[in-house]
C-alpha cells in the first residue's frame, strides 16, 4: 500500500455512525428521509449488490439521476466498493448524453425514471453500456425498453448489438448477500469524475481522488462555511455539479449535518416552498437564481431560517447582493471555485463580505496572478488566475492537450482574469477566452454556432456574451441571414433548444448585415460583443 487507507464513502457515512450519530437525520426532502444509520446500511448493501453484479474497482459507473436519496446512496456505494462515480447533467438531450456514455466508456449506467426516454436514446449510440440500473418503474415505451433481468441473474438477452440488460435498483439493494467491507482505497485512489466544459469547450471529465472530498470539507466546508451538525443544507445546484455535490453531500455528511434533496426542477416558487417546509440554515445558489428570487413574489420572510446564503458559479453582482440581503435579511458569501478544484478556493467570509468581489483565498489554497508571459503581476494589475491546493483534479480523462494547458504542475490555470487588491481581496474581470457562463454553466459559442448554421436562414453567426442589467451573462446570437432568407429570432431560439441542452440556447438573436472580421478572416468577437451590447442596450 502506497499510503494509509482512506475511503471517502466511509468518511461520509460510517464515521458518523461510529461517532454515535446514527439516529441523526442525514438526508431529508420530498423524495425520502434517511438517518445516518439507515444511509450507511443502504450504501453498504448497494455496494455489495454492485459487486455481485460484476462492477469492478476503478471502473466507471455513470449516473443520470435527479437529486434524491437514491442518488446519494448510489454515489456513496460506488465509491465504497472502489469504483468511480460519474454523475452527469440531467439537462442533456439523448445525443449529447450518448457522447458522454461513449467518452467515459461506462459499462454500467444508473438512472432515475424521469430520464428513461433520453437514456434510451443515448444507449442506442453507446454499445459499451451493458447494464442499465433503474431506480423506479420504467417510463420508456415497452418496445424501446432494454431487457430486464433479476439481480444476480445472468446477463441474458444481449444480442450482437449488445443491448443493455436492465436491473432494478431496489433489487440490488436487497440482494440478501452479507455486506462486503469497503474497498481498501487510499487518498489518491480515483473516486469521482465530474464533466465540465470548463475553459476549453467540449465536455471533459475532471478526475478526482478520494482524498479531495475530505480536503474540500476541511478547507471550505469547515473553515469558511463553519458548517456544524445542526445545519440543514439546501442547494439549487444539482448533485452532478461540483458545487452541488459539495453543498448537498460532502459538507453536510462530513459534518454530521442534514442534506435536503429535492428532485424537482428548481423554480423560485418551488424553492421558496421547500425553504418554508424544510427550514434550511444554509442556502446555496448562483447569481441567476438569486436574481430570479428577487424578480418573483417570494415574501420577505421566506428565508427566515437561513443563517447564510452562498453564491458561486459566476461572479455575484454587488447590486444583486445588496437587493437580496435588503429584502430577505440573509447575507450571501460569494466565492470562486471550479469543477477542476472540486469546490470553492477563493471566498468572502461570513460577516466580512466585500460585495462585487470573490473575497480572499480559502485556507489550504494558494493563488497567483500572471501576465501573458507568465510573470507575476502586482496588486491592482490584471492577471491570469492560477490556484493550487490538495483538492485539484489529477487531470482530464483522455484529454492530453487540455490537461497540459490547464493543469500546470501543481498549479491550475482557471481561465479567469482577476485583480488582487492590496488587502488580499480578489476581484473578477472576466474570462481569459471566449467561453460564456450562463446561469453558472459553461457554454461553448462554437457549439451553439454549429447548431445555428444548420438552419437554412443562417449564413454566418457569432455567439457572444451579453451582460444584462443585473450584471449576469447571457448567450446572444449575432446572425447574418443566408442569401434570400429572412431570420425569425423566435424560430432560431427554438431550433437551438430542440437540438441542444436548453441552457445553451441564445437568449436573443440579433440580425446583422455582416460580422466584423480581422484581415485574416477571423471574427472579431470583442467587436461583436460591443455591437450586441449597443443594440440590446437600446431595447
Q: What is the pLDDT of residues 193-249, one digit of tens each?
A: 999 865 445 789 999 999 999 999 999 999 999 999 999 999 999 999 999 999 999
The separation between CA 70 and the C-alpha centre of its own chain, rounded to angstroms, equals 18
The whole model's pTM is what?
0.85
CA pair distance 66, 109, nearest whole angstrom = 14
pLDDT (0 to 100) of residue 158? 39
Which residues partner with 235 through β-bridges?
Answer: 284
Of the chain, the end-to-end C-alpha distance in Å amounts to 64
The two beta strands, 407-408 and 426-431, are: unpaired
- pLDDT for the residue numbered 316: 87
Position 521 scores a pLDDT of 61
What pLDDT, on the 0 to 100 scale, is given for residue 211?
Answer: 98
Domains of the chain plus CATH, in order, are 8-194 (3.40.50.980), 209-431 (3.40.50.12780), 436-537 (3.30.300.30)
Residue 442: predicted pLDDT: 77
Question: What pLDDT is recorded for position 159?
Answer: 40
Residues 5-35 as b/e (b if ≥16 CB within 10 A, e otherwise) read ebbbbbbbbbbbbeeebbebbbbbbebeebb
Residue 81, class by beta-carbon neighbours within 10 Å (0-12 exposed, 13-18 middle, 19+ buried)? buried
Q: How far apart are CA 35 and CA 22, in angstroms?
A: 6
For 344-391, the DSSP string reads EEEE-BTTB--TTS-BEEPTTEEEEEE-TTS-B--TTS-EEEEEEETT
- In sequence order, the β-bridge partners of residue 335 are 347
Nearest Cα to Cα of residue 311 among 367, 369, 243: 243
pLDDT tens digits in sequence order for the chain, 539 residues long:
456 899 999 999 999 999 999 999 999 999 999 999 999 999 999 999 999 999 999 999 999 999 999 999 999 999 999 999 999 999 999 999 999 999 999 999 999 999 999 999 999 999 999 999 999 875 543 333 344 444 444 333 334 455 789 999 999 987 777 888 999 999 999 999 999 865 445 789 999 999 999 999 999 999 999 999 999 999 999 999 999 999 999 999 999 999 999 999 999 999 999 999 999 999 999 988 998 899 899 999 999 999 999 999 888 888 889 989 999 999 999 999 999 999 999 999 999 999 999 999 999 999 999 998 999 999 999 899 999 999 999 999 999 999 999 999 999 999 988 999 999 999 988 777 777 888 888 787 878 888 998 999 998 889 999 988 888 889 999 999 988 899 999 999 999 999 999 899 999 999 999 989 765 567 788 899 999 999 998 65
Give pLDDT, residue 318.
87
User: What was the pLDDT predicted at 360?
Assistant: 98
Region for 399 from its dihedrals, namely left if φ exceeds 0, alpha if ψ lies in -120 to 50, beta otherwise: beta
Q: Where are the alpha helices (DSSP H) in 159-316?
A: 169-173, 210-216, 242-245, 251-255, 268-278, 287-295
Amino acid at each position: 500500500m502506497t499510503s494509509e487507507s482512506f475511503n471517502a464513502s466511509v468518511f461520509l457515512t460510517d464515521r458518523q455512525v461510529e461517532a454515535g450519530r446514527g439516529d441523526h437525520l442525514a438526508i431529508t426532502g420530498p423524495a425520502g428521509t434517511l438517518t445516518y444509520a439507515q444511509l450507511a446500511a443502504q450504501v453498504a448493501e448497494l455496494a455489495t449488490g454492485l459487486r455481485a453484479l460484476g462492477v469492478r474497482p476503478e471502473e466507471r459507473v455513470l449516473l443520470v439521476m435527479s437529486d434524491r436519496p437514491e442518488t446519494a446512496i448510489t454515489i456513496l456505494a460506488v465509491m465504497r466498493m472502489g469504483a468511480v462515480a460519474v454523475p452527469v447533467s440531467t439537462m442533456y438531450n439523448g445525443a449529447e448524453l450518448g457522447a458522454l456514455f461513449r467518452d467515459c466508456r461506462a459499462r454500467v449506467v444508473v438512472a432515475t425514471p424521469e430520464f428513461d426516454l433520453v437514456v434510451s436514446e443515448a444507449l442506442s449510440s453507446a454499445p459499451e453500456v451493458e447494464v442499465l440500473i433503474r431506480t423506479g418503474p420504467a417510463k420508456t415505451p415497452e418496445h424501446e425498453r432494454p431487457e430486464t433481468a433479476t439481480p444476480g441473474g445472468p446477463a441474458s438477452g444481449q444480442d450482437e448489438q449488445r443491448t443493455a440488460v436492465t436491473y432494478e435498483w431496489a433489487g440490488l439493494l436487497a440482494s440478501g448477500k452479507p455486506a462486503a467491507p469497503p474497498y481498501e482505497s487510499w487518498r489518491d485512489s480515483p473516486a469521482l469524475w465530474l464533466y465540465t466544459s470548463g475553459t476549453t469547450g467540449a465536455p471533459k471529465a475532471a478526475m478526482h481522488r478520494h482524498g479531495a472530498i475530505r480536503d474540500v470539507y476541511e478547507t471550505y466546508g469547515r473553515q469558511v462555511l463553519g458548517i456544524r451538525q445542526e445545519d440543514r443544507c439546501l442547494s439549487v445546484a444539482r448533485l452532478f455539479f461540483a458545487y452541488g455535490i459539495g453543498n448537498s453531500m460532502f459538507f453536510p455528511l462530513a459534518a454530521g449535518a442534514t442534506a435536503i434533496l429535492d428532485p424537482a426542477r428548481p423554480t423560485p416558487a418551488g424553492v421558496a416552498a421547500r425553504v418554508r417546509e424544510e427550514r434550511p440554515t444554509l442556502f446555496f445558489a448562483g447569481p441567476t437564481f438569486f436574481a430570479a428570487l428577487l424578480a418573483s413574489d417570494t415574501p420577505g420572510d421566506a428565508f427566515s431560517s437561513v443563517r447564510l446564503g452562498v453564491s458561486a458559479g459566476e461572479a455575484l453582482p454587488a447590486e444583486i447582493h445588496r437587493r437580496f440581503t435588503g429584502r430577505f435579511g440573509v447575507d450571501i458569501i460569494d466565492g470562486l471555485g471550479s469543477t477542476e478544484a472540486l469546490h470553492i478556493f477563493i471566498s468572502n467570509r461570513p460577516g466580512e463580505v466585500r460585495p462585487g468581489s470573490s473575497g480572499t483565498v480559502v485556507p489550504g489554497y494558494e493563488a497567483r496572478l500572471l501576465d501573458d508571459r507568465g510573470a507575476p503581476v502586482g496588486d491592482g494589475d490584471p492577471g491570469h488566475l492560477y490556484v493550487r491546493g490538495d483538492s485539484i483534479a489529477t487531470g482530464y480523462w483522455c484529454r492530453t492537450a487540455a490537461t497540459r494547458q490547464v493543469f500546470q504542475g501543481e498549479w491550475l490555470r482557471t481561465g479567469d482574469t482577476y485583480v488582487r487588491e492590496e488587502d488580499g481581496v480578489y476581484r473578477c474581470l472576466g474570462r481569459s477566452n471566449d467561453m460564456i457562463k450562463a446561469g453558472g454553466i459553461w457554454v461553448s459559442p462554437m457549439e451553439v454556432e454549429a447548431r445555428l448554421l444548420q438552419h437554412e436562414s443562417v449564413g454566418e453567426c457569432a455567439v457572444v456574451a451579453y451582460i444584462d442589467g443585473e450584471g449576469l451573462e447571457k448567450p446572444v446570437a449575432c446572425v447574418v441571414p443566408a442569401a434570400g432568407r429572412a431570420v425569425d429570432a423566435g424560430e432560431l431560439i427554438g431550433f437551438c433548444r430542440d437540438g441542444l441542452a436548453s441552457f445553451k440556447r441564445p437568449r436573443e438573436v440579433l440580425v446583422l448585415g455582416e460580422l466584423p472580421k480581422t484581415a485574416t478572416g477571423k471574427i472579431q468577437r470583442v467587436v461583436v460583443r460591443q455591437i450586441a451590447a449597443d443594440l440590446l442596450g437600446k431595447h
